[in-house]
Structure 1
């Protein structure tokens, strides 16, 4: 695929960015099935949050074009081939990961309405409805906004300028792959769907990783690319689950129990390598100190905020205190990764734990320094659950710069979860 030529041809009135409901992260579908079985009646609101306010999305992206792309997504449904892949494929060594009742519901799904308004130089974009339906808007909405921003920047570039841009971006990624080839025992996956440069570029990056890294490349979080390229679909769960469960808590005692209620439901739904703890929603150290003993037997932990070395050391100590051998446990690093950090973390923890990496934005959207005025540099855009049954959601994180929620609720959650002083870290992506 000549990506530069395709970009040049994006002058068409609408070239759909999202062409499939499975152009999404695998963990979204895993979580959706769990929610479908356990909390299907919960009403949730998701909202776009641009952490990088210096990027004026409403100035760059035409509202009419944005609506066209979102309306197109609402017209999508599972194809027969996609349904067959989900129903019959083996994921994480398990056949029929997705149960018949969930698949019947998913096959009949059309995504619910969206609400879009321009406020100054930003967009307010929200989705409201039943949790299993609304949660599936998150990834395609982010992919549309990220790609439309990229198209806006690329629009004025001439054809050969585009060719050179993509040649440089390809060279940049291949140099990263060459460095990663030198890491013995590396295990790394693509986690870059939500803030990718474009679908075509993510697909190219995945093909480059497949050829360049061989068996060290374990797969992709993107279900459509995994299907098309015959790769493993990678993913477990995200902060969304404890955030919504916590918002539904009736009192402080129920709030304190909510993160573990999530994992109890997950334990019944999934097994094996899908039993990965994401402990940082309300502070990693406190979460592990209060965790029930059965959680120590799970496969591993994903480190997604705060200092990654500190998070891994906390996990190792916790396993040791619970009589578990950390060398048999999996630690997945997934926050703001690029090659230097991947190489460093692997060197520090290989042999002490089973190390794996989920490489996101700086795999699928590293155009830093390649466009005039650096206008293609990645930025931090998220779409989060902000309320559940009318109650606000809260995220504390191990990095206070990633915290979200009303001030009074943030204070309450810090008290309930005994979160003390935290180190603020720059949010790159």
Structure 2
């Protein structure tokens, strides 16, 4: 096990790449990338960094030259032979050869495309433009770099013993969470914390702690590199990016209303079983479920990623019952801003009614709240989203208007098309 405090101390003396592998990314990005490669490879997209936490002045904390060095290093990476072998030959979700030969040949020759970086006030404007399959793979490493550089900026003022104490406290804090969770019967939980982690080494430590502390209740990690290195299950399905881009490509309101279901029709052609998970909230869960075709009710489950999680699960249960499905056979994955307290509450509320699972993100891999002066290491809400497709803006409504994005006129249009009325504003924790 790496001495994390010593490694952090050594950051002061040498260049230390943050992202060292193209598979230091979330598994769902690779699954989605293969789907995009097959169905929409010529679509031109723009991804952009969005800092929802304006009180965190990234451009004052992070040196622009150091940020460019890290991003340039990522552009130098290519898939290693052992990584390619793992992707080609491993069994994922019970399926061998999850990744097709044509996709793997393309991925093995990939270098990530150029980026555009500009300082605007106290924030960075970071964008990526190009073919969708290439540009989409920037999201996770770009976020990981920015999150870790912000952490290094704060930690750089600390002495060696101060760092040792900090990480000892952070380890104790996580272990106390694990001790609470290990008492929960039938718990299923995975690491979803790559995008906004404190650092790669810390995420790896958290995964090891979860594995030892929770045993079979810990079902895997979204991080492909850690899954490969630790011989764990790689966990993930799909994300809002797919319906956002499909919707932007729609030629009229009729096609727009159909776009979220077209995404899942394409997905169904490629995947089965536990990969058939619906993410219904991109344009409002109520409208999505109300208009969903009957074949979607036969899918394995749903992921709840915005709004009140209990209300989202209740909506799904009612929908399955109305479509003649037994909710007890269905999987509900909670993944939005989870604390251990929320995990305990939701597990108690829904155990026996559905199959419950949790994707634990930022508050697993980046919970340093209360451990530094002025809480300078507290996690914050940083995302990198597709903002345009073939020159048209993308839109996300969500079940929480605080997570909505897109031009105001397009947000109004999407609300009309998808029948979204009043929504309850909820604070975005991370």
- When normalised by structure 1's length, the TM-score is 1.00
State the distance in 2 between where 1:427 and 1:383 align: 15
Structure 2 unpaired stretches of 5+: none
- Structure 1 CA distance for aligned equivalents of residues 97 and 130 of structure 2: 28
Aligned structure 1 segments of 4 or more residues deviating by more than 2 angstroms: none
Partner of 2:321: 320
Secondary structure class of the residue paired with 2:11: helix
Shift of 1:281: 0.1
| Pairs within 5 Å for 1:198-209 | 198-209=199-210
* Residue 235 of structure 1: aligned partner: 236
Listed one character per residue, the Cα deviations across residues 39-79 of structure 1 (whole Å, up to 9, x for unaligned) are: 00000000000000000000000000000000000000000
Q: Deviations over 1:228-278 (max 9, x none)?
A: 000000000000000000000000000000000000000001111100000
- State the alpha-carbon separation in 2 of the partners of residues 283 and 373 from structure 1: 37
Q: Conserved in 2, the CA contact under 8 Å of 1:14 and 1:65?
A: no
Query: Offset at 1:293?
Result: 0.2
**TM-aligned CA deviation for residue 21 of structure 1:** 0.1
CA distance in 1, matches of 2:416, 2:287: 11
**Structure 2 partner of 1:188:** 189
Alignment of 1:222-261 (within 5 A): 222-261=223-262
User: What is the distance in 2 between the residues matched to 1:34 and 1:288?
Assistant: 23
Counterpart CA distance in 2 for 1:402 and 1:209 is: 29
What is the Cα deviation at residue 108 of structure 1? 0.1
Q: Which residue of 2 aligns with 1:121?
A: 122
Q: Deviations over 1:292-314 (max 9, x none)?
A: 00000000000000000100000
- Native 8 Å contact 1:399 1:425 kept in 2: yes
- Structure-to-structure mapping, 1:372-391, within 5 angstroms: 372-391=373-392
Residue aligning to 1:112: 113
The corresponding residue for 2:60 is 59
Any conservation in 2 of the 1:14–1:68 contact (CA below 8 Å)? no
2:279 paired residue number = 278
CA distance in 1, matches of 2:319, 2:13: 55
Alpha-carbon offset, residue 12 of structure 1: 3.1
Which residues of 2 match residues 329-344 of structure 1 at below 5 A?
329-344=330-345
Per the alignment, residue 425 of structure 2 pairs with: 424
- Tell me, yes or no, if structure 1 residue 3 matches structure 2 residue 34: no
Shift of 1:372: 1.1
3-state SS of 2:190 partner:
strand
**Residues of 2 paired with 1:12 and 1:414: CA distance?**
52
Q: Distance in 1 between matches of 2:346 and 2:255?
A: 36
Aligned length: 429
1:60-99 equivalence runs, <5 A: 60-99=61-100
How many angstroms apart in 1 are the aligned matches of 2:120 and 2:338? 32
How far, CA to CA, are the matches of 1:172 and 1:22 in structure 2?
A: 29
Tell me how far apart the structure 2 counterparts of residues 272 and 372 of structure 1 sit (CA, whole Å): 47
Aligned-residue offset at 1:418: 0.3
User: 1:43 corresponds to which residue?
Assistant: 44
Deviations 1:353-408 (A, max 9, x none): 00000000000000000011100000000000000000000000000000000000
How many angstroms does 1:14 deviate by?
1.6
The CA deviation string for residues 325-356 of structure 1, in whole angstroms up to 9 with x for no partner, is: 00000000000001000000000000000000
CA distance in structure 1 between the aligned counterparts of 2:86 and 2:275, rounded to whole angstroms: 19
Structure 1, residues 111-155: CA drift from partner, whole Å, max 9, x if none?
000000000000000000000000000000000000000000000
Q: CA deviation at 1:13?
A: 3.9
**CA contact 1:32–1:135 (8 Å) conserved in 2:** yes
The 1-side partners of 2:28 and 2:188 are apart by: 18
CA contact (8 A) 1:379 1:428 kept: yes
Residue 301 (structure 2) pairs with residue 303 (structure 1): no
State the superposition RMSD in angstroms: 0.4
- CA distance in 2 between partners of 1:309 and 1:15 (Å): 42
Provide the rounded CA distance (Å) in 2 between the counterparts of 1:239 and 1:316. Answer: 21
- The normalised TM-score by structure 2 is 1.00
- What residue number does 1:362 align with? 363
2:234 match: secondary structure: coil
* Pair 1:348 & 2:345 matched: no
CA distance in 2, matches of 1:272, 1:190: 20
Deviation at 1:181, TM superposition (A): 0.5
| Larger CA deviation: 356-365 vs 8-17 | 8-17
In 2, distance between residues paired with 1:64 and 1:84? 35
SS at match of 2:153: helix
Could you say which residue in structure 1 is the equivalent of 2:413?
412
